[in-house]
Chains A and B, each alone.
Chain A
Amino acid sequence: MAKHETPLLDQLEGGPWPSFVSDLKAQAETKPEVWDILGQLELSYKDRITHWKHGGIVGVFGYGGGIVGRYSDVPEQFPGVEHFHTIRVAQPASKYYSTENLRKLCDLWEKHGSGVTNMHGSTGDIILLGTRTENLEPFFWDLTHEMGQDLGGSGSNLRSPACCLGLSRCEWSCYDTQDACYHLTLHYQDEIHRPAFPYKFKFKFSGCANDCVAAIARADVSVIGTWKDKIRIDQAAVKEYIAGNYPSNGGSHAGRDWGPFDIKKEVLDLCPTECMWMEGDELKIDDAECTRCMHCINVMPRALRPGAEQGATILVGAKAPILEGAQMSTLMVPFMKVSKDNEYEELIDFIEKIWDWWMEVGKNRERVGESMQRVGLPTFIKVMDLEPIPQMIKEPRCNPYVFWAEEEVEGGFERDIDEFRARHAA
């Protein structure tokens, strides 16, 4: 029987979609404290203000991350959520689980917590919602000793690295994203578990420009697979697509009749750099102009493949805050060999050069992308010992954070503008 009246929340159970309210009511049958989540949330809807206090001092011994303290500011009314801490558990690479592992984890959470989970948080961790302070150490012991799993990152730490399916299931992956993610997770255990930075720091690994973990939109260092040489073309397969014998996009749009495949309309005209054309029945690509966007490969996967000389593009500075909207990361290194043979040495050197600078220069609660904007791209490029290249800016003369030094401008800042304009119209 319901412990609290929840008329506002009950409205969220209407409609055809699944409702977290229904889920919480079901969970409350075995975990009575869950009624108090519903009760407190109903009160928040009425008062139009959160009733969670901000942060806390909870954690497990030796770790400065992985636990987020949550306390109710109305514990007399809702004693079940007086303490309702969140635990972040590091996810396996690409989120491959066995059902046995998931059952064990859920049993453990039923034993030590509310049983409420969020699979997964936006960084990728398994989120376990709601436990009391005295349950944290016993849970942590069981998680690490019985299940061999670990907490993820939170606070001003390196957050749990995340990757796409990579070579495990995807023929387009240009490097082993899972191995890179696993290797760097182990390499940076100290940075994940103990706060070191002015603010959070994330890296994510995508095997190709389809970017299935959205690294470019939210990771401070986005490692996105690419290739250096030419797209590999099977001209016989191109002909099969044109003849309608192979379904475009691997058949993913097969639920509706879109008419016969039109290579000009669906591939050539949609190429962002217009670097493709047909010569007779042969597909031609000017690879020097190709931006490796993956569109043509997505449409004709049996005819086109990424080139054979593979690695990754490294971009820096994305963030996806709720209030301000996302900032995409900026390209820094167009091509880097990302290889387990040298234990990702080049990538690790690059990441640590960013950290050395950002730990010194970054303001409190400033993501590295914000530090880059504040100091300007040319300064950041110098810090990273990189040469400026056209790909680093969106287009000439439009980038908001490139500043010219006086000595870089012919005639300096004091030259006669009228004389200059007589020769160069605005």
Chain B
Amino acid sequence: MALSVDELKAKIVEKAEKSPKPQLYIKDFYACDPDAKPRQIKNVANELVREGKLMFWSSGSTTMYAAPHRIQNEEKKK
């Protein structure tokens, strides 16, 4: 992992905030630190969920990650 955990967290949150899509697959975050293992990215993303900075969205078969305010707005529109 090239970035520290805090740096990676900041990159992931930034991606979730600025990405054109409100919901992102876990793989979409791999580019935040190409040197990190997928499992490390997953662990950091899940930590962000516990901290309330990301949120899960699930169709039942697939789970995606999102910035809470963006996904909550999307859900209201539906």
Q: With A194-B42, A196-B26, A359-B38 as known contacts, state yes or no: A57 contacts B62, CB within 8 Å.
A: no
Between B42, B50, B55, B60, the greatest number of chain A beta carbons within 10 A of the residue's beta carbon is seen for: B60
The minimal Cβ–Cβ distance linking B31 to chain A, given in whole angstroms, is 13
Complex CA distance for A65 and B71, rounded to whole angstroms:
17
Interface string of B41-59 (1 = CB under 8 A from A): 0100010011000011111
Q: With A65-B58, A198-B25, A198-B27 as known contacts, state yes or no: A57 contacts B71, CB within 8 Å.
A: yes
Note all chain B residues with C-beta closer than 8 A to A64: 46, 49, 56, 58, 63
Instruction: Please state if A360 and B59 are interface contacts (CB–CB under 8 Å).
Output: no
Q: With A55-B57, A57-B56, A359-B38 as known contacts, state yes or no: A155 contacts B62, CB within 8 Å.
A: yes
Complex CA distance for A105 and B78, rounded to whole angstroms:
33
The minimal Cβ–Cβ distance linking A386 to chain B, given in whole angstroms, is 22
The minimal Cβ–Cβ distance linking B12 to chain A, given in whole angstroms, is 14
**Which residues of chain B (54-78) have a CB below 8 Å from chain A?**
55-63, 66, 71-72, 75, 78
Instruction: Please state if A57 and B55 are interface contacts (CB–CB under 8 Å).
Output: yes
The verdict on B39 contacting chain A, using a C-beta distance below 8 Å, is: yes
One of A61, A157, A359, A360 near B63 (C-beta < 8 A) = A157
Between A53, A68, A154, A155, the greatest number of chain B beta carbons within 10 A of the residue's beta carbon is seen for: A155
The minimal Cβ–Cβ distance linking B15 to chain A, given in whole angstroms, is 15
The verdict on A302 contacting chain B, using a C-beta distance below 8 Å, is: no
Instruction: Please state if A156 and B26 are interface contacts (CB–CB under 8 Å).
Output: yes
Note all chain B residues with C-beta closer than 8 A to A57: 55-58, 66, 71-72, 75
Complex CA distance for A157 and B59, rounded to whole angstroms:
12
Q: How large is the interface on B (under 10, 10 to 19, 20 to 34, 35 or more residues)?
A: 20 to 34
The verdict on A334 contacting chain B, using a C-beta distance below 8 Å, is: no
Task: Tell me the nearest residue of chain B to A62, going by C-beta.
Answer: B50
**Which residues of chain A (87-113) have a CB below 8 Å from chain B?**
none
The minimal Cβ–Cβ distance linking A2 to chain B, given in whole angstroms, is 30
One of A55, A62, A198, A365 near B58 (C-beta < 8 A) = A55
The verdict on A59 contacting chain B, using a C-beta distance below 8 Å, is: yes
Complex CA distance for A385 and B55, rounded to whole angstroms:
37
The verdict on A369 contacting chain B, using a C-beta distance below 8 Å, is: no
The verdict on A56 contacting chain B, using a C-beta distance below 8 Å, is: yes
Note all chain B residues with C-beta closer than 8 A to A196: 26, 38-39, 42
Note all chain A residues with C-beta closer than 8 A to B59: 54-55, 155
**Which residues of chain A (7-22) have a CB below 8 Å from chain B?**
none
Interface string of A192-209 (1 = CB under 8 A from B): 001111111000000000
Complex CA distance for A275 and B62, rounded to whole angstroms:
46
The minimal Cβ–Cβ distance linking B27 to chain A, given in whole angstroms, is 6
The minimal Cβ–Cβ distance linking A148 to chain B, given in whole angstroms, is 23
Note all chain B residues with C-beta closer than 8 A to A200: 61-62
Q: With A57-B56, A64-B56, A196-B26 as known contacts, state yes or no: A155 contacts B75, CB within 8 Å.
A: no
Note all chain A residues with C-beta closer than 8 A to B50: 61-62
Note all chain B residues with C-beta closer than 8 A to A155: 56, 58-63
One of B25, B37, B60, B71 near A364 (C-beta < 8 A) = B25
The minimal Cβ–Cβ distance linking B25 to chain A, given in whole angstroms, is 5
Complex CA distance for A197 and B46, rounded to whole angstroms:
13
Between B38, B63, B71, B72, the greatest number of chain A beta carbons within 10 A of the residue's beta carbon is seen for: B63
Note all chain B residues with C-beta closer than 8 A to A71: 78
Complex CA distance for A62 and B72, rounded to whole angstroms:
18
Note all chain A residues with C-beta closer than 8 A to B42: 194-196, 359
**Which residues of chain A (32-68) have a CB below 8 Å from chain B?**
53-57, 59, 61-62, 64-65, 67-68
* Chain A interface residues toward B at CB < 8 A: 53-57, 59, 61-62, 64-65, 67-69, 71, 73, 86, 154-157, 194-200, 356, 359-360, 363-365
Q: Can you name 12 extra interface pairs (CB under 8 A) apart from A55-B60, A195-B63, A196-B42?
A: A53-B78, A57-B75, A64-B63, A71-B78, A155-B56, A156-B26, A194-B46, A196-B39, A197-B26, A200-B61, A356-B37, A365-B62
List 17 A-B pairs, Cβ < 8 Å. Answer: A55-B57, A55-B58, A57-B71, A57-B75, A59-B58, A61-B50, A64-B46, A71-B78, A154-B60, A155-B61, A156-B63, A194-B42, A199-B61, A356-B38, A359-B39, A364-B62, A365-B62
* Chain B interface residues toward A at CB < 8 A: 25-27, 37-39, 42, 46, 49-50, 55-63, 66, 71-72, 75, 78
